[in-house]
A and B are shown apart, each in its own frame.
Chain A
């Protein structure tokens, strides 16, 4: 009998709760018992409450067990888990059944994440066997303008947060006359509550490389950079391995697949500055400078990296391109609602029972995500507030939970979907403290270019402190609202411009938290 395939993720989140120890225990125990296994370190399925998630391939299907700490490995062997169809294995308390039938996964529409958790992320052979590089092959048969047209027709909008139509950006770069153009991937995923970029880079790095290569063909660029935050060392390792394999097999470098086209790609590491997720700061940083934002216009598509026309897109945007070229714009465009086309990989985080990655077509309500996927709060207490769209996103109360997850629908309630992060708080949250933190974060991360952001954020912390202390509360609230208006209209980028979102949403929806309470009464 040939070796049984056993999968344990190499994803950083899975490793953070012991996946390496579980993998080692599986190998040691299999040797001790003389059971032949082939261990594959896959990406994560994104069902993080089940990590470390161990999967076994039996009779052509994959069966899941989780969460499996190293100490539970002996028990799995006792139950004969390597033949997951056996009754003893099926009845094991950690058995989750056929992985794809787990409701959390079964109900999703995974397009961008189609391979994540399934393949060996750094195996080019595995990537090709699962439909990889079909998009690039399709692109190589098209003229640049046809590739751009396909991306435009798909309705794909930038998944980094700003939701700008990717096709229009690419068309601008294509039309810009220049000897040198660049493709830059924004992998500076700094929003709290988001990890979809990380999961792609660790779980299917080739799809990002393929997407960037298609962007290069579409726009006439021959050099690319992935600007990756230092906080993601596992992603760096996976990307470096995948890039090396891609070069060896001529999917990167000169004469791509014999086409005569060239594309070189390298990873550059950031240094802990949230602002470098803003595209012009990112370009400054890539040029070796302080990450201070630039005035726009000119947009980076005209004057970008080293002054040349540059495509700057987020990881998920690029990773969504191969399937559009492979399956056609109409296939992708068919998903979604209104002007939000395709799928959005949502990330369910914070105080939630079943946190993880949920890729679905736009349009599902926030409530469905929180309760049907998330299962409510981890603490078991009522959910009181949900921050959508990262640290610059609004805090939403229960009354807004029926809003569909769609760019325009969230804009209508003074919120934003951003990069798709959803952070859940239970009823122990102090919303005045969250508002104060938003100002504090802005003060720490401001690049310093605009005064309302640089100074206003510090003044904002002080005003909130006085407001909560009850010193002329009405006057402080007026001052805070005035300050937020100044920041909104007087800042060049989203950091200063959107910090008022979490602050004002906390103040508007949860005013009771900003009222000074008698300390003797509060503790009673």
Chain B
């Protein structure tokens, strides 16, 4: 397969939730690349992460169309209510919060994505409703 590195990294992250730094050497060897090349790619793309995330990943849109409908207030609420900043995981290991720049739901913002499920018209109250069952899940 030509240009296999991104598909391989996606496959690793889909199974493990992240790309462990330990895997870089193995991937490099198998694809006949240097470790630096693989590390360079992993670190270039916002989507790839090198630490284990929470049980669910919440991507919160920060882009203009959502800003026009209160995304900044939603972001502040999300960080306050989960007591974490972006790129961090809640203490109970339930949720990882990530910024994202447009989810393509710009007529029904503010938007966020929980794992692969898009949510629109997310008010702070709706945010709490969406997060509560995820945080209450058995660990």
Cα A230 to Cα B64 in complex, Å, equals 19
Quick check: which of A54-62, A265-273, A328-336, A402-410 contacts chain B, the rest being far away?
Answer: A265-273
A contact residues around B47 at 8 Å (CB): 230, 270-273
Is the Cβ of A286 less than 8 Å from the Cβ of B9? no
- Residue of B5, B103, B104, B111 with most partner-chain A CB within 10 A: B104
Taking a contact as CB atoms closer than 8 A, the residue among A190, A231, A269, A391 that contacts B6 in the complex is: A269
Contact B45 A272 (CB under 8 A): yes
Decide: A272 near B65, CB < 8 A? Known: A16-B120, A355-B106: no
Provide the residues of chain A in CB contact with B24, threshold 8 Å: none
Cβ-closest chain B residue relative to A290: B44
Q: Which residues of chain A are near B100, meaning CB under 8 Å? A: 231, 272
Tell yes or no: B3 within 8 A of A by CB: yes
Bound complex: CA A191 to CA B2 (Å): 28
Contact of B118 with A423 in the complex, beta carbons under 8 Å: no
**Per-residue A-contact encoding for B1-13, CB less than 8 Å = 1, 0 else:** 0111111011000
Q: How far is the CA of A473 from the CA of B103 in the complex (A)?
A: 36
Cβ distance A286 to chain B, nearest Cβ, rounded Å: 5
Distance, CA A421 to CA B107, complexed state (A)? 10
Cβ-closest chain A residue relative to B112: A16
A231 touches B104 (CB 8 A): yes
Knowing A231-B104, A271-B46, A272-B100, the reply to whether A350 touches B68 (Cβ < 8 A) is yes
- A414-433 with Cβ < 8 A to chain B: 421, 423-426, 429
> Please, which residues of chain A bring their CB within 8 A of the CB of B88?
none
Q: Establish whether residues A273 and B46, one from each chain, have CB atoms under 8 Å apart when the complex forms.
A: yes
Q: How far is the CA of A359 from the CA of B70 in the complex (A)?
A: 27
What residues of B have a CB within 8 angstroms of the CB of A13 in the complex? 104-105, 107-108, 118, 120
Taking CB atoms, residues of chain B closer than 8 Å to A387 are 64
- Are A271 and B48 neighbours in the complex by a CB distance under 8 Å? yes
Instruction: Report, as a range, how many residues of chain B touch the other chain.
Output: 35 or more
Q: Which of B31, B46, B121 contacts A272 (CB 8 A)?
A: B46
Write the chain B residue with the least CB distance to A386: B68
B109 contacts the other chain (Cβ, under 8 Å)? yes
**Contact (A12, B104) CB under 8 Å given A17-B121, A306-B2, A391-B63:** yes
Q: Mark B30-60, 1 if CB is under 8 A from A, else 0.
A: 0100000100110011111000000000010
CB distance from A321 to the nearest CB of B (A): 22
Is A296 interfacial (CB-CB < 8 Å)?
Answer: no
Beta-carbon contact of B107 and A291 below 8 Å:
no
Among B64, B117, B119, find the residue whose CB has the most chain A CB atoms closer than 10 A.
B64
Kindly list chain A residues whose C-beta atoms are within 8 Å of the C-beta of B4. Answer: 288
- For residue A197, which residues in chain B have a CB less than 8 angstroms away from its CB? 104
| Cα–Cα distance between A437 and B99 once the two chains are bound (Å) | 14
Chain B, Cβ-Cβ closest to A424? B68
Is B69 on the interface with A (CB-CB < 8 A)? yes
Taking the closest CB of chain A, its distance from the CB of B47, in whole angstroms, is: 4
Shortest distance in angstroms between B42's beta carbon and chain A's nearest beta carbon? 9
Query: Cβ of A198 and Cβ of B10 under 8 Å apart?
Result: no
Residue pair A194, B6 in contact (C-beta under 8 Å): no
- Any B CB within 8 A of the CB of A495: no
Cα-based distance from A444 to B98 in the complex (angstroms) = 14
B64's partner among A193, A232, A291, A447 (CB-CB below 8 A) is A193
Partner of B67, one of A232, A270, A437: A437
Contact present for B48 and A350 (CB under 8 Å): no
Q: Which residue of A lies closest to B72 (CB)?
A: A433
Given contacts A423-B106, A429-B68, contact A287 B2 (CB under 8 A): yes
> B94 near A: Cβ within 8 Å?
no
Given contacts A231-B113, A273-B45, contact A195 B120 (CB under 8 A): no
CB distance from A496 to the nearest CB of B (A): 16
Which chain B residue lies CB-closest to A395? B64
Given contacts A13-B118, A285-B6, A423-B64, contact A192 B101 (CB under 8 A): yes
Most chain B Cβ neighbours within 10 Å, of A51, A289, A434 = A289
Contact A355 to B107, CB < 8 A, known contacts A190-B101, A231-B100, A429-B68: yes
Which residues of A327-365 are within 8 A (CB) of B? Answer: 347-352, 355-356
Q: Tell me if A378 counts as interface (CB < 8 A to partner B).
A: yes
- List, in ascending order, chain A residues with CB within 8 A of B84's CB: none
B44: chain A residues within 8 A (beta carbon): 273, 290-291, 447
Bound: A189/B102 CA distance, A? 9
A48 CB within 8 Å of chain B: yes
What's the nearest-Cβ distance from chain B to residue A477, in Å? 23
* Subset of 29 A-B contacts with CB under 8 Å: A12-B105, A12-B118, A16-B121, A49-B107, A49-B108, A190-B102, A192-B64, A192-B65, A192-B106, A195-B107, A230-B47, A231-B102, A268-B3, A271-B10, A272-B46, A273-B45, A286-B6, A287-B3, A288-B31, A288-B41, A290-B41, A290-B44, A306-B3, A349-B106, A351-B69, A391-B63, A423-B106, A424-B68, A447-B44
Task: Give 20 new A-B contacts, CB below 8 A, not counting A349-B68, A350-B67, A423-B68.
Answer: A191-B102, A195-B107, A230-B10, A230-B47, A268-B6, A268-B7, A271-B45, A272-B100, A273-B44, A273-B45, A286-B3, A286-B6, A287-B3, A288-B2, A291-B45, A347-B106, A350-B109, A356-B107, A421-B106, A429-B68
| In the complex, the 8 A-B pairs of residues with the closest C-beta atoms, listed nearest first | A355-B107, A288-B5, A192-B63, A349-B106, A271-B45, A350-B68, A272-B47, A16-B120
B-binding residues in A (CB < 8 A): 12-13, 15-17, 48-49, 51, 189-195, 197-198, 230-234, 268-274, 285-291, 306, 347-352, 355-356, 378, 387, 391, 421, 423-426, 429, 434, 437, 441, 444-445, 447
